[in-house]
Amino acid sequence: MECFSYFSFDSEKPINPGFSNCYEKISENGLEISRKFQKKWQQYTGETYMSSDNASPVRYSIPDISALRKDGYYPIDMHLHTTHSDGIFRIPDLIPYAKKLGIGVAITDHNEISGVLQAVSEKRDILVIPGIELETQEGPHILLYFYTSGDLADFFHDFTRERNRETPGLLQNLSVSDCLSLAESYDCLRIAAHPFGYYGINRGILKCVLKNMLPGVLDHIDGIEVICGGMVTGLNRKAMRYAAHHPMMYTGGSDAHILSDVGSVVTGVRADTVDEFLDGIASRKNVVMGRSSGCIHKGATAGVIAWSFIPYTVSRLSAHYSVYNHHTSRLFQRYQSRVSSFFLPKREEKMQSEERREEP
């Protein structure tokens, strides 16, 4: 029997009972799903049923890690944040938790690499992808995945230098084009994080493209994040539909800020090394499995992110004050120097005149 499913190891996808006007045709070859049903299903969910010998690589459901492993895939959560940025779990807690789940991790802290460097340097039994999530001036976030931690460190050095160029001592976010231009010099994958996110703010590249912002940006990204655990279902479906109609790379990750969210979305590749894993994504031989986190998890994550902004805001204000104080001090010294240079000659002239009068 020919069955229709997302993966060869999952052939029991339930049919949505809401499509009562759709029908099934039974043939000598077994069950077939009508074209009419397929079209309506895709319009409703953004998913496509395909035969088991040409299965769709994306499935919007709770990851079945054991099934992925059995089918030869190494599952990795490609998007998460630790205490090195705005997450609340530490590297020593993350690694054993991921190992217990049977997955690897790509640590993608915001504008920071100290967490992933710590993870790479420690003894571990899981794959760790060197990564970072860049914040930009226009709003969208960009995920970068590197083949080596050395390349990531070199990129981060250049990235920090450019952020520090305009206002020394006060790091500024770079534009999307500047971030992508810097990344072009390195062997890495450039992925648009939560491409249609979020409601009310521009945190996704494709959302900005729809607003006629960022002209030409699609020529400089390698792919998009088709499932992000932090996004609502509708926006994830939208990203899935976009990827289905464009020949580009696709990844998925939980966007976890709390430990229990890790592994809720995974990307799978038949690989044993970081090189093989990223090459698998680059050649679009990967699968993605996962779904949006629940309301409780979203609420908890929002609280974590909001709380993390307190020390972040304090440090930013402190940095602003330090830079402002430094600039003010320099301006005052300059002013003092100019005033002194203006009055000093006149003062000396006056003193010399008084001395001449006092001479007999």
Q: What is the DSSP string of 32-68?
A: EE-HHHHHHHHHHHS---EEGGG--SEEES---HHHH
∠50-193-14 over CA atoms, to 5°?
30
Q: From CA 26, how far away is CA 40, in angstroms rounded? A: 19
pLDDT at site 356: 61
pLDDT digits (tens, 9 = 90+) for 65-84: 999 999 999 999 999 999 99
pLDDT digits (tens, 9 = 90+) for 112-144: 999 999 999 988 899 999 999 999 999 999 999
202 has pLDDT over 50: yes
pLDDT digits (tens, 9 = 90+) for 271-281: 999 999 999 99
Q: From CA 91, how far away is CA 83, in angstroms rounded? A: 8
Q: Which two tokens stand for residue 72?
A: 């030869």
pLDDT digits (tens, 9 = 90+) for 291-311: 998 776 667 666 656 665 565
pLDDT digits (tens, 9 = 90+) for 158-191: 999 999 998 888 899 999 999 999 999 999 999 9
Q: From CA 64, how far away is CA 10, in angstroms rounded? A: 10
Q: Above pLDDT 90, what percent of the chain?
A: 62
Q: What is the CATH number of domain 58-293?
A: 3.20.20.140
What letter would DSSP give residue 147?
S
What letter would DSSP give residue 231?
S
pLDDT digits (tens, 9 = 90+) for 144-159: 999 999 999 999 999 9
6 has pLDDT over 50: no
pLDDT at site 74: 98
What letter would DSSP give residue 221?
-
14 has pLDDT over 80: no
Cα 272 → chain centroid: 23
- Cα torsion 34, 35, 36, 40 to 10°: value is 110
pLDDT at site 23: 28
pLDDT at site 357: 62
- Kindly give, in sequence order, each residue whose CB lies less than 8 Å from that of residue 159, ignoring residues fewer than 6 positions away: 111, 134, 174, 179, 182
Lowest-pLDDT choice from 6-10, 122-126, 227-231: 6-10
